[in-house]
Structure 1
Amino acid sequence: MNRHVQGTNAPSLFRNRFLQTILLSSVLLQIGIWVRNFAILLYVAETTNNDPYAISLISVAEFAPIFVFSFIGGTFADRWRPKRTMIWCDVLSAVSVFAVLLTIHYGSWHSVYLVAFISAILSQFSQPSSMRLFKYHVAEEQLQQGMALFQSLMAIFMVLGPMLGTFVYSTFGLEISIAVMGIVFLLSALVLVRLPEDQMQTQKVAVKGQFRKEFVEGFRYVWQSQVLRMLGLAFILAGLAVGVAQALNLFIVTEQLGRSKEFLQYLLMVNGAAMLIGGGIVATFAKRVPPQILLAIGMVAGAVCTAIVGYSTSVPVTLTVQFLNGLVFPCIHIGISTMILKWSEASIVGRVNGVLNPMFVGMMVISMSFAGPLKDTFSLSTIYSGAGFLFLIGALAMIPIMNHKAPDKLPQVAQEV
């Protein structure tokens, strides 16, 4: 499918077969991921009597593969045929889930970590392949709306996911919960068969020594683009701010608001519901607003709301601010995703995503790990004000590129010549 033809006479976004298929696949994957996350969390907490080290290993299993495999996965995603890559990743995830299920059944409960770990590895190959297909099969002027639909889907599961995961685990136990994940991954692979066939030119011939050149090319491509460089800086600052705020949310509930730790779920549900509404709102006007402005709006709002949450001791005020923050947060996700797609050549989207994504996750994990020592040294209001300041710097980083427009002709990748 020629995306330039699509751009001149693009059909309705909802009639786009590619988008229909990807959204249905994403629904299935989100069901599996949320059931898996809560099954593992609740099972490990019960088995280890809430051992913080054992529970923290779950996050390590989920996030560590992003550091190691995101660069590699993005490079391979640019070399391989994306449809085939996504189908095989889902199939292999399902196979690995059932294999781990056998080891759990025969007594090795520590294998639950492998479920998250293997799935996280394979997602580093599947996700950039999905981004490449977005570039091929969604018209340029509809990219931002497409990203808004994905953001809305993520928000729906932020609200429903915890309830779904807790219900399945509480009703059926660990083994059935893990099996559900394997089944929905297989169903996702079947759904992805509906994707338009890969174009032969999207697959590269493997050449000895070429992988290293293509790997380095991803970093060079990002560095040579002012827009992508500034986006990388925004990733780093947002990751630092989000990590420390997420890690200390529980203390906002117990210390600032004087409520029990169970009250945290209401903060998260309010935030998730607002993200759902915000994603829908952004989708309606996404065509008319440049993605870098969307990103700046989201980060300014994040700066103000994060600082207020750090100072507030009122439940109504904190819930209201959490709602407003969730309402605007989709601007960050949609702005970032659209900028990656609009300022990256189709043949290198996977590598650009592989370079930028670990910046956010890496900084988030680093700030999470420092959250405890920061809490011992500074007050919550000071820490949250600092996180808000990081968001503000990220918004200011957008100023030099605020008026940049996506080029009609993107720079080609040298290795393709």
Structure 2
Amino acid sequence: MMKQQKKDLKSFIILWTTQTFSTFGSSMTSYALIIWIYQQQGSALTMGLLTVCSYAPYVLLSMFAGAFSDKWNKKRTMLFCDSIAALGTIAAFFLLQNGQLMIWHLYVINSINGIMGAFQSPASDVAITLLVPKEYFQRTSGMRSFSNSLVTMLTPVIATMLLSFFSIKVVLLIDILAFCTAFIALLFFIPLKEPSDLTGEDTDNKVPVMDLIRDGIGFLKDNRGILELILFLSAINLIASMSDTALPALVLAKYPDRETVLGLVNGFTGLASLIGSIIVSVRMAPKNRIKVICTALFISMATENFILAFTDSIPIWCIGAVLGWLPIPFMSANMDVLLRENIPLNMQGRVYSVRNALQFFTIPLGHLLAGILIDKWFEPLMKQPTAILLLFGEGKGAGAAFLLFILGIAGTLICVYFSSLKKMRALG
């Protein structure tokens, strides 16, 4: 049985392993650049704009990119997009090497990466469906969640170590090496058929792009439960992205001379996700996936932000990270299976692209909004010595803590509301 599974999933395992290595390299680069930017400017807004530049073009182009993805060869699309993104890392390395790297350079590079990601993401999603037999969807979703969690856990640890003993240049070089590994594996060792090869139909190449986009939107209109699930995740992404900007603004402000503290908290985030992913990978499929998704997100929203807000204790911050992130693999794996099972293979590119636009547009909005609120409103507000505000500490970083408290309330209310929607719950 085990040998048969390995044979059935051989191409997926190669893709999964090498893409995980590539993602690890990119994540270390992003982490190192966040620290570099905060050291240069000390501003949450400047730091948040780095993510805005990645996600804004990604969201704006997602619908068009998915439609083109249904028309284009998936393998060639992935290879091209990854190559352009790698050129950005190479450019950053040489600018840094010559002492010419500036923050606006990173904004431009991240914008280009966002454009490439808009086209690469739906192609990659369809490629996974093409490579994985349906009976392995639950297991492979758990495996992908496991690798993402492993990256999350190892990124701050390895990146901090490299920054401490070497420099950010070494981080960039590892990112480039990881890309080369993934590129060669995809090019030479992963045979990837197109949906038309399996269905015998090739009509999408003759259909105008706007018609394909309308098909994707129309599918979600006709499947209200899936649309509600996507909007649920969109609202959660708004809260999560604001938290992602507030966390380094809190930790780096409270411990300005100890970069390892942020790495430690992020490391526990990854560890919690890793444990959750292992459980998801080995457990049986649940009877009600929507119930698992709603419960997981409620636990996450009702714990981490509150714990981060009310203490400066590093161990308690780590406990908050575990409580907030342990349930996330349960959510992501079950949502992944629900979408793959409910969206026809020949429509997945265009539907996933609409999903990406709706579900992820709140991420750049959240990073931008959190940066503005912390720098322009919450931090100045916390300089007023009122009893209630003193609950969140004093000095720089107290504003980020206050924002995290508000985000905890908002996230919990969002979970309660969406859990009551009948059509989403009917997905089962």
TM-score range, shorter chain: 0.7 to 0.9
Q: Distance in 2 between matches of 1:353 and 1:217?
A: 12
When the two chains are superposed, the root-mean-square deviation of aligned CA atoms in Å is: 3.2
Q: Which amino acid aligns with 2:245?
A: A
Partner of 1:291: 289
**Residues of 1 paired with 2:117 and 2:368: CA distance?**
24
Deviation at 1:219, TM superposition (A): 1.4
Q: Which amino acid aligns with 1:323?
A: V
Distance (whole Å) between structure 2 residues aligned to residue 311 and residue 99 of structure 1: 38
Cα 1:10–1:138 change in 2 (3 A) is farther
Counterpart in the other structure of 1:201 = 196
Aligned CA distance change for structure 1 residues 267 and 41 (closer, same or farther; 3 Å): closer
TM-score (normalised: structure 1): 0.81
Task: Decide which moves more: 68-77 or 377-386.
Answer: 377-386
Deviation string, structure 1 residues 158-187 (Cα, Å, up to 9, x no partner): 111122223334444344433432332122
Deviation at 1:56, TM superposition (A): 3.4
AA partner of residue 364 (structure 1): I
- Aligned match for 1:50, one of 32, 42, 50: 42
Q: Paired residue for 1:66, among 51, 58, 66?
A: 58
Q: What is the TM-score of this pair, normalised by structure 2?
A: 0.79
Output one character per residue of 1:73-106: Cα deviation in whole Å (capped at 9) or x when no partner: 2222211121222223223333454355455555
Superposed displacement of residue 13, structure 1: 5.9
**What is the rounded CA distance, in whole Å, between the counterparts of 1:396 and 1:201 in structure 2?**
39
1:158 corresponding residue in structure 2: 152
CA 1:79–1:367: 2 relative to 1, 3 Å: same
Going from structure 1 to structure 2, the CA distance change for 1:303 and 1:170 (only over 3 Å counts) comes to closer
2:280 counterpart residue number: 282
- In the other structure, the counterpart of 1:36 is 29
Structure 2 gaps of 5+ residues are 383-388, 390-401
Counterpart residue number, 2:335: 336
Structure 1's unaligned 5+ residue stretches are 1-8, 406-417
What one-letter code is carried by the residue in structure 2 that aligns with 1:65?
P
Deviations 1:126-147 (A, max 9, x none): 2211211222222223212211
Which letter does structure 1 place at the counterpart of 2:214? Answer: V
Report how far residue 404 of structure 1 moved.
Answer: 3.2
1:384 aligned to 2:408? Answer: yes
Deviating more after overlay: 120-129 vs 171-180? 171-180
**Identity fraction in percent:** 16
- Tell me the CA shift for residue 20 of structure 1: 0.7
* Count of residues paired in the alignment: 391
Q: 1:18 aligns with which of 11, 21, 36?
A: 11
Show the counterpart of 2:116.
Answer: 122
Aligned to 2:300: 302
1:224-283 CA-to-partner distances (Å, cap 9, x unmatched) read 11222111221222112213333333577699xxx6365444332222211100011111
Q: For residues 50 and 156 of structure 1, do their structure 2 counterparts lie closer, same or farther at Cα, with a shift above 3 Å needed?
A: same
Report matched runs for 1:1-400 at 5 Å. 11-12=4-5, 16-46=9-39, 48-50=40-42, 52=44, 54-99=46-91, 101-102=93-94, 105=97, 108-110=100-102, 111-192=105-186, 193-199=188-194, 201=196, 206-207=205-206, 210-249=208-247, 260=255, 262=258, 263-306=261-304, 308-309=306-307, 312-313=310-311, 315=313, 319-371=318-370, 372=373, 375=378, 376=381, 379-380=402-403, 381-397=405-421, 399-400=422-423
- In the aligned structure 2, how far is the partner of 1:174 from the partner of 1:85? 30
Determine the C-alpha separation between the residues in 2 that align with 1:184 and 1:10.
28
SS at match of 2:361: helix
Mapped partners of 1:104, 1:314: distance in 2? 34
Contact 2:29–2:175 (CA<8 Å) still a contact in 1?
A: yes
Q: 1:362 to 1:291 in 2, by over 3 A?
A: same
Distance 1:11 1:254 in 2: 49
Q: Would you say the 8 A contact 1:310–1:384 is kept in 2? A: no
Alpha-carbon contact 1:34-1:161 (below 8 Å) kept: yes
